[in-house]
């Protein structure tokens, strides 16, 4: 095994440290999975996630026994933490698909070292998101009523409802993300199978590799399939958050019934997703010393995307305020007044501070090249995006048309425990993924090396 090069040789704009060969890339990523000992820090992280996941199961058990009355949802505010968290999680998921699909189509080669765990993040975030509407149903054992199937009640889903579109959008998204992630893993499974010194490893990774052997014919079809999937996932990811925004925009609630919602939601989703990728990437590269592959340049690029989408989101907030005034509609104006000076005004100001003011620091190169500042900023943006959904949902619902039906809302302890629980589920799954599957795509990293590119006869004889 050759000596891995040091971080100091890395220059700005380089997306892989110099001095690597196909072998050192394979060993560096493979050894995270096939290590002799599991690092203590892994155990610490996993156990925290696992404990919080147990809190989730406790909450769900209580919820099933006693019903959703244990949550804070009430008569004017029928959607509370459950929908806030659903939109928050599904938004986080979007960066994974953006990195793996859209950046692939745009030939952004720096995506290579972050796409694998961003896709895993997508899957786990979508799993967390899916729990909320499921348990919000109250009787989740009847979830299959959402699906079109011939039944003795002779009923069909209401196709004109965005909630049914949501079912199709989210299940399609989860399926396609899983497939995309899985086929990306196949060649790396073959690498781990062939590297494995232990028969259990060979069997485990051998089954997942499905007999992959790197044949040129296979690679050719594989690349075609991967590119087509990227092309399919790109409109899909845009459609998913568009449909999520339709859940609001198709209704007639003031503050929801606006046409800017779809693009504004998609930008917000990418914004929060990149924030979460940074939240995960910075400690991960530290923990496993992956600075060779996830370089400061990567963090810089991600920070720039965060800044761009953050500005789009800020534009969205501005347009919301402007349209309410410009519409001349008394209810829209009332909603904005309530947002700015009503009982939940501090949520709104905190949201502006987190999502609009704080990210302006990203204009400075020094900030973009300082990992721990970026880490703190990414946490702030994650919080800000949660507040955004809280403001959109709770503040719009608690006071709509009739003052007689106004009310207040706050999450209960069980709302918080469910939220913390899904964070636990997310991190427990993520730590298991880091331990058992290659966290960076090994075969795609190999293609970053200059010796991966060949000159063919055709080029020689034009």
Q: Which residues bind other proteins (CB under 8 A)?
A: 21-23, 26, 148, 154-160, 162, 164-165, 168-169, 172, 175-176, 179-180, 182-183, 186-187, 190-191, 193-195, 206, 210-225, 228-229, 232-233, 235-236, 239, 243, 246, 443-444, 446-447, 451-458
Alpha helices in 20-71, H assignment, sequence order:
22-33, 40-66
How many Å apart are CA 275 and CA 29, to the nearest integer? 24
Give the shortest CB-34-to-other proteins separation in angstroms. Answer: 13
CB of 218 or CB of 345, closer to other proteins = 218
Give the shortest CB-177-to-other proteins separation in angstroms. Answer: 10
CB of 141 or CB of 199, closer to other proteins = 199
How many Å apart are CA 129 and CA 274, to the nearest integer? 17
Phi, psi for 211 (deg, rounded to 5): 85, 20
Sign (positive or negative) of CA dihedral 174, 176, 179, 180? negative
CB of 236 or CB of 393, closer to other proteins = 236
Give the shortest CB-31-to-other proteins separation in angstroms. Answer: 13
Give the shortest CB-196-to-other proteins separation in angstroms. Answer: 10
Site of tokens 């427990």: 428
Give the shortest CB-170-to-other proteins separation in angstroms. Answer: 9
Give the shortest CB-8-to-other proteins separation in angstroms. Answer: 26
Of residues 226, 289, 241, the one with CA closest to residue 95: 241
CB of 180 or CB of 433, closer to other proteins = 180
Give the shortest CB-209-to-other proteins separation in angstroms. Answer: 9
Largest CA distance in the chain: 82
3-state secondary structure of 313: helix
Sign (positive or negative) of CA dihedral 413, 283, 88, 137? negative
How many Å apart are CA 211 and CA 207, to the nearest integer? 8
Element housing 153 (H / E): none
CB of 210 or CB of 341, closer to other proteins = 210
CB of 240 or CB of 280, closer to other proteins = 240
Q: What DSSP assignment string belongs to 90-110? A: HHHHHHHHIIIIIHHHTT-GG
Q: Which two tokens stand for residue 411?
A: 């999450």
CB of 147 or CB of 321, closer to other proteins = 147
């Amino acid at each position: 095994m050759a000596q891995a090069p040091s971080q100091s040789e890395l220059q700005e704009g380089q997306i892989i440290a110099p001095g690597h060969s196909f072998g050192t890339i394979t060993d560096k990523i493979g050894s995270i999975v096939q290590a002799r000992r599991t690092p203590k820090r892994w155990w610490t992280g996993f156990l925290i996630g696992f404990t919080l996941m147990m809190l989730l199961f406790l909450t769900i058990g209580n919820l099933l026994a006693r019903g959703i009355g244990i949550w804070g949802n009430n008569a004017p505010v029928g959607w509370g933490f459950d929908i806030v968290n659903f939109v928050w999680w599904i938004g986080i998921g979007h960066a994974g698909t953006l990195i793996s699909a859209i950046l692939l189509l745009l030939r952004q080669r720096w995506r290579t070292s972050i796409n694998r765990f961003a896709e895993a993040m997508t899957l786990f975030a979508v799993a967390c998101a899916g729990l909320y509407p499921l348990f919000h149903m109250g009787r989740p054992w009847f979830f299959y009523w959402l699906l079109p199937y011939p039944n003795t009640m002779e009923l069909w889903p209401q196709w004109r409802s965005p909630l049914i579109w949501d079912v199709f959008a989210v299940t399609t998204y989860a399926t396609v993300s899983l497939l995309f992630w899985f086929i990306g893993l196949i060649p790396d499974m073959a690498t781990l199978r062939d590297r494995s010194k232990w028969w259990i490893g060979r069997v485990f990774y051998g089954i997942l590799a499905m007999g992959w052997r790197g044949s040129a014919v296979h690679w050719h079809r594989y690349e075609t399939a991967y590119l087509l999937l990227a092309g399919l996932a790109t409109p899909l990811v845009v459609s998913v958050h568009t449909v999520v925004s339709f859940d609001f925009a198709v209704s007639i609630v003031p503050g929801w019934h606006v046409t800017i919602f779809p693009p504004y939601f998609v930008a917000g989703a990418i914004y929060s997703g990149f924030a979460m990728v940074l939240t995960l990437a910075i400690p991960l590269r530290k923990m496993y010393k992956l600075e060779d592959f996830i370089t400061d340049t990567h963090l810089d690029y991600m920070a720039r995307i965060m800044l761009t989408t953050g500005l789009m989101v800020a534009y969205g907030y501005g347009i919301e305020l402007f349209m309410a005034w410009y519409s001349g509609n008394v209810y829209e104006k009332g909603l904005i007044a309530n947002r700015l000076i009503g009982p939940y005004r501090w949520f709104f100001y905190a949201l502006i501070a987190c999502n609009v003011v704080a990210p302006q620091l990203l204009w400075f190169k020094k900030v973009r090249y300082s990992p721990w500042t970026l880490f703190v900023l990414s946490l702030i943006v994650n919080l800000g995006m949660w507040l955004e959904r809280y403001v959109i949902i709770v503040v719009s619902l608690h006071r709509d048309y009739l003052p007689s039906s106004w009310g207040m809302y706050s999450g209960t302890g069980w709302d918080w425990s469910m939220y913390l629980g899904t964070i636990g589920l997310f991190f427990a799954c993520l730590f298991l993924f880091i331990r058992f599957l290659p966290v960076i795509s090994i075969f795609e990293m190999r293609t970053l090396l200059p010796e991966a590119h060949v000159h063919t006869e055709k080029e020689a004889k034009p």
